[in-house]
Structure formats: structure tokens, C-alpha cells
Structure 1
Amino acid sequence: MPLNDLAPRVAGLNEWYRLHSATAVLTHALTAPEAGKLALVSSFGAESVVLLHLVSVIAPATPVIFIDTELLFTETLVYQQELAERLGLRDLRIIRASAAEIDQADPTGTLHRHDPDACCALRKSAPLARALDGFDGWITGRKRYQGGARESLEFFETEDGTGRMKVNPLAHWSREDVQTYMTENRLPRHPLVAQGYPSIGCMPCTSPVATGEDPRSGRWRGQQKTECGIHFVNGTAQRIGENA
């Protein structure tokens, strides 16, 4: 959709839905013809089950994109398989960097040790950019309570330079809301959460978090890097913020 058409529509949607629930926002995104073709991008991480469950109730045939960096915990891969089956997700798309790309840029599998940004670009950003080609937008699990630039997050956004819309149904949820929803709906937790991993990424770059530490302190511990999320600026994948 042309950007000059998308921006006013997104502004109108935010005004209309500003006092509505996550379910209402997600229902519009998944069922309204004018929303176009959307995909849910999910890491199947610590809080992902909430949005996956909502999608499975509203529109279980929604494409769900899962990026397998081939450096994930075994627990994440097993959780992804079990959760997709339990929720009845009908269009799960597992994407990866090609073997040729890995052989060229990371033949020893050690790129994450000396250039974690390049590793994220290779194994996550580039595959997702290809996977989103042809979609009119995508759904994220980002929330205002996660801080930083997300503190003013809206339900609907325009994505710079791509003509796509981003939908953040859980933008106004608190951490307590997330936990309550999981409990009330008896949703399975990622097994690593009970082992001290409140934020879960790739195995080499994630460590347990001690009591009192920031939940994301176990990601790239000891490095300046703190985020691996994906956004697009002028059509190019950028690592700005976390993709939930």
C-alpha cells in the first residue's frame, strides 16, 4: 500500500481503537479486508504464547513466521513444535538463512563471538526480510512496559520505507497482564523460564538472570549489545529494539 495512503489510515485506526482491547485490535487486523495480508512474527520465547493463543482463537490460519537461527536452545525448538500443535496453528513458516549464506559469512559458526550484530543480520534480519516480502504488514508482541522507544508504542504503526503496517495488539498490557493471561488460559510456559531465563534468544548469547537483575541482562552479557529485534527503514532490515 502506498505510504501516503497508509499513514492516515494508521492514524485513524489508533484513534478508533485507543480504548479497545487487544482482542479487538487483533480481530480487526486479521479479519478486516482493508488490513491486507498480515503475518505474525514470533520467537516462541518467554511471553510469545499469549499472542500465539490469541491468534489461534481469532484466525488460526494466520501465517506465523518463526526464525530458526540454528543457534537456538533445544528447549525453544521443542516448545515451538509442541505449542504449534497444541494451538492448532495451520500455517507455521520456519525460516532460516541459506546454507550458502552461512558457509560464506559464518563457516566456523563463531561469528556471534566477535561480531554479534553481523550474526543477527545473517541469521535473523535477512531471512525475515525475505519472508515478509508480499505481506501488507506484520504483528508483533511488543509492549510499552518494555521501555525505551516502546513507552509510546501505538496499536498500529507504519513501517518506514516498506509500505507495510505493524500491529502491536499487546502494546498497553503490563507484565502482570501477560502472566495473568497465561495462568487463566492454562498456557504452557517456555521451559527455560523456570530455569532463570526470563528473556530467551540464541543459546550462545543468552545466560540465566539472577534475582533482582533486569530481565534482559542475560542477553549478550558483558557486551554493549542489548537488542536483536528487527525493523525496516527505507526497505532495509535494521536491528532496532526487540522483536517479540
Structure 2
Amino acid sequence: MTALAFASLDLTDYAASLNAQLQGRNAEDVLRIAIRDLFPRQIALVSSFGAEAAVLLHLVAAVDKATPVLFLDTGKLFDETLRYRDDLIDRLSLSDVRVLTPDPKLLSAQDDAGTLWFRDAEACCRIRKIEPLARGLKPFAAWINGRKRFQAATRQHIPLVEADGARLKFNPLADWGPAEIEAYFIRHDLPRHPLVAQGYPSIGCAPCTQPVAAGDDARAGRWQGADKTECGIHVSTLPSSSPRDEE
């Protein structure tokens, strides 16, 4: 799709149309259509390289190993996550992983001591995740992420495709459950994030991620004790430009 054609679309209507067309398709088909047919060289995968990330990374690599992968290095990640990222890059032969980092000027002005996460988690996520991702997504018309409906009450109704500001967002694993994820790990002999075995079913920044008890919500260990369940990149329109803005 050309940038001009994309710019002329009503993205809410287009997302609804794609949702209807893709219902019943498996994740492999959804990714193949998104990456090869609809948005060649205009789509990126955003990955945390977290607990379940290897599944979607493997699926995307099977379609095109050169698909850009955007990774948010907040400066507060577990060392295990960084090592796991490097292992998966090698294992899957990913050729275009782009590391997004916070703006040093914003960090200096708002979090010079590195303790903003404790004082204001929303502001910390904004400068360490939302703003860097907005910059990283600027060249793209669409993006892929690994959210699943079973993960939390706030994710129970996510569609396969949704409008996200000036872009489309694909959720190809939306209807996958824990059994399907586990079966995929086993079938393809994918390595596990080392923290999963220590009780971390959802892994974000180290200061804001705790292990959870068996049977708890998979995201119960994120921002424990706070009235916060998402970092913000999936609950508000990213404040960024896109190819639509450049016509």
C-alpha cells in the first residue's frame, strides 16, 4: 500500500474491515498478510523480549527475518532480559532489531536520580517507554504486538486489528491461551526467559516487576500495590507522526 493510499483511509473503518476479513485466520496467516501483502517494509514488531515473546518473534521470523523489531531498553530492565534478547536474536537470525532508549535530556530533566519509577510510575513509563516508542514508530504505517486476551481483564476484548492513532496495530495472538503458547514453545524448542522459572509470568522493568503466586493473574506482578495495570503504550494514542502526516 502506498503512503498516499494509506493516508486517505479512515483507519477505524479500515481496521474493522480487516478484522472481519481476518476472523478465523491463524496467526501465521495474519502475519503473512500484514507483513507481505498489506504493509511490506512499512510494518514493525514491537517486542519486550519477555516471558512469551519468543513465540511471536519466531512467527514473524518465519515470514521475514528482516522485519524490523523495536525493543525498548528503558535502562531499568533485568539483566536476564538483555541476555535473553541477544540469545533470541542469534537463535532466530533477526537482522533488524532496533533498540529504542529514553531521550537523555528528558532523563536529565525529569529523572536525574533514576527514582522516578518510585515517585510517579506513569511519568517514568512516559519518558522511558511511550516517548521512545513514538519516535521509533515514526517510519511505519502499522505495528505488531503480542498482547493476548487471557493476560488481564483490561485485555479481554482486544481485536486482531485496531486503529492506533495514525497507524494500524495487529494483535495476531489475541485469542491464544496459555496451552497454545506452551505447545508452541515445545514444538519449536524455543528458549525460555530465565525469570519465568522464578515465578515471573510477565516481565517488565526490574523495579516494577515482582513474581506472582500460582493461579494469580499473569500481570499481577506488574506495579504491585499501585492502581496501574499497563505502561501506557497500549492504552493511549502514541503522540507521533507517521507516513500519513507527511503527505
**TM value normalised by structure 1:** 0.90
Q: Which residue of 2 aligns with 1:240?
A: none
Match in the other structure for 2:67: 62
Relative to 1, partners in 2 of residues 1:35 and 1:59: Cα closer, same or farther, differing over 3 Å? Answer: closer
The Cα RMSD (Å) is 1.8
Q: Look up the equivalent residue of 2:49 and give its one-letter code.
A: F
3-state SS, counterpart of residue 127 of structure 1? helix
In structure 1, the residue matched to 2:244 is none
Shift of 1:153: 2.0
Cα gap change, 1:56/1:116 in structure 2, threshold over 3 Å: closer, same or farther? Answer: same
Distance 2:189 2:207 in 1: 30
Say if 2:39 and 2:142, in contact at 8 Å, map to a contact too.
no
Identity of aligned residues (%): 48
Match for residue 176 of structure 2? Answer: 173
Checking the alignment, whether the CA contact within 8 Å between 2:126 and 2:232 is kept in structure 1 is no
Is structure 2 residue 14 aligned with structure 1 residue 12?
Answer: no
2:233 aligned partner: 230
1:233 CA displacement = 4.8
Larger mean CA deviation between 131-140 and 205-214 belongs to: 205-214
5+ residue gaps, structure 2, are 1-5, 241-247
- Indicate which of 162, 176, 199 corresponds to 2:202: 199
Retained in 2: the 8 A contact 1:159–1:232?
no
Q: Is the 8 A contact 1:40 1:139 kept in 2?
A: yes
- In structure 1, the partner of 2:91 is 86
Aligned partner of 1:138 in structure 2 is 143
Superposition pairs of residues 43-192 of structure 1, within 5 angstroms: 43-160=48-165, 162=166, 164-192=167-195
Name 2:220's counterpart in structure 1.
217
Q: In 2 relative to 1, CA 29–146 (structure 1 residues): closer, same or farther, beyond 3 Å? A: same
1:24 aligns to what?
29
Counterpart contact for 1:120–1:228, Cα < 8 Å:
yes
Report the CA distance between 1:174 and its aligned residue.
1.2
Q: Summarize deviations over 1:123-179 as a string: whole Å, max 9, x none.
A: 11000001101210100111122243432222111113x2x1111111111121111
- Check the 8 A contact 1:97/1:123 in 2, yes or no: yes
Residue 56 of structure 1 contacts residue 89 of structure 1 at CA under 8 Å; is this kept in 2?
yes
What count of residue pairs does the alignment treat as equivalent?
Answer: 235
AA matched with 1:179: E
Single out whichever of 35-44 and 7-16 deviates more from structure 2: 7-16
